[in-house]
């Protein structure tokens, strides 16, 4: 039985990954910062890690482990005001990961699967082009830079040890239980709020959480994944307008979209200090997953449309449960 250490196991992707690993009869050891008992199965072994930095001791967590899936990270925060963002991200995302990887190699871990970010490739794609793994990296901002620096450090460790490294760069991950901006979109649609996004003709790629988890599990064992970089995605891209229409249909709350010129939206976002959010809503970001599909003989189990409907239906169920007091 393969023994897997999952860091960030009580996060959005981590909970889904743990569930699927157990269903496939892996031994799972979860490293978490706080013990969320309601989300922990009796089949899981839990290791509490107070902080992740260059001083963290991982020996107990790494004992007899075959593979590490490293999800834990200081996540991207839009419009962050910290005076030293790069240092803050560097402490956890770079130093913390490098420390874990070095100890993993010393403990005889066979493979280290690192969940990076499509932001290593860049913030946006231009019309007709998609990001591919071999693009020259163009990270923008402290978070993306920290992810890229970590990738380089992990590949360097792999070149000097017997531990293999696999890097996965996902775009925005969505699915049942998603939080942040994606949930905000569903909240707005559910409340029937008119949105000025009726004429946005961008193209954006997403990855449904079960598709990402399936890819991660493939990368745990697949021999051709060794020391490779893969992009994740659902295999299709849609505009923000199309996204809202589909979600509105699934929520049974037709999207109330107002056609506002793209230029006016950009001006309004600049005046409100929301440039970063505007780039996500108005700009394009497409990924080409052909290397992932071809090299690993893998394909997304769920289409983009199926993933969006499953996400919206879960939102309805969760809302009904909350209102009922469950």
Q: How many CA atoms are closer than 13 Å to the CA of 13, on its beta-carbon side?
A: 27
The single residue listed with the structure tokens 């509105």 is 248
- The bridge status of strand 111-115 relative to strand 164-169 is parallel
Q: How many CA atoms are closer than 13 Å to the CA of 325, on its beta-carbon side?
A: 0
Where does residue 305 rank: exposed (0-12), middle (13-18), buried (19+ CB within 10 A)?
middle
Distances (CA, A) of 131 to 73, 139, 155, 288: 23, 13, 21, 6
Instruction: Give yes or no: 26 in active site.
Output: no
Find out whether 36 and 19 touch, Cβ atoms under 8 Å: no
Find out whether 195 and 255 touch, Cβ atoms under 8 Å: yes
- What phi, psi does 253 have (nearest 5°)? -135, 80
Q: Which of 76, 55, 178, 158 is nearest to 113 (CA)?
A: 158
Q: Please state whether 79 falls in left (phi above 0), alpha (psi between -120 and 50) or beta.
A: left
Distances (CA, A) of 174 to 11, 304, 309: 13, 10, 11
Which residues, in sequence order, are bridge partners of residue 172? 206
Q: Which of 89, 143, 148, 302 is labelled catalytic?
A: 143
The single residue listed with the structure tokens 């290593």 is 120
Q: State how far Cα 26 lies from the chain centre.
A: 22
Distances (CA, A) of 278 to 202, 234, 265, 284: 12, 23, 8, 11
The residues assigned a catalytic role are 143
């Amino acid at each position: 039985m393969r023994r897997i250490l999952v860091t960030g196991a009580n996060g959005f992707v981590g909970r889904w990954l743990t569930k699927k690993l157990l269903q496939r009869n892996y031994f799972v050891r979860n490293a978490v910062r706080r013990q969320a008992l309601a989300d922990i199965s009796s089949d899981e072994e839990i290791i509490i890690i107070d902080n992740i930095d260059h001083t963290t001791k991982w020996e107990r967590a790494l004992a007899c482990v075959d593979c590490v899936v490293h999800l834990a990270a200081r996540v991207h925060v839009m419009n962050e005001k910290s005076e030293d963002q790069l240092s803050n991200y560097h402490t956890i995302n770079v130093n913390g990961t490098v420390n874990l990887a070095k100890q993993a190699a010393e403990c005889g871990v066979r493979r280290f699967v690192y969940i990076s970010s499509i932001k290593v490739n860049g913030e946006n794609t231009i019309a007709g082009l998609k990001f591919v793994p071999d693009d020259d990296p163009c990270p923008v901002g402290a978070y993306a830079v920290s992810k890229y620096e970590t990738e380089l450090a992990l590949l360097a460790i792999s070149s000097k040890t017997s531990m293999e490294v696999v890097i996965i760069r996902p775009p925005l991950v969505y699915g049942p239980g998603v939080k942040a901006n994606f949930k905000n979109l569903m909240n707005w649609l559910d409340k029937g709020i008119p949105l000025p996004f009726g004429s946005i003709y961008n193209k954006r790629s997403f990855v449904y959480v079960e598709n990402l988890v399936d890819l991660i599990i493939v990368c745990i064992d697949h021999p051709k994944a060794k020391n490779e970089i893969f992009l994740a995605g659902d295999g299709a891209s849609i505009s923000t307008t199309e996204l809202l229409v589909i979600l509105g249909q699934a929520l049974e709350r037709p999207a109330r979209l107002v056609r506002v010129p793209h230029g006016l939206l950009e001006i309004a976002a600049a005046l409100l200090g929301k440039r970063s959010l505007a780039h996500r809503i108005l700009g394009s970001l497409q990924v080409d997953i052909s290397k992932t599909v071809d090299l690993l003989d893998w394909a997304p189990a769920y289409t983009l449309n199926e993933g969006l409907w499953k996400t919206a239906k879960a939102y309805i169920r969760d809302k009904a449960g909350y209102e009922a007091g469950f």
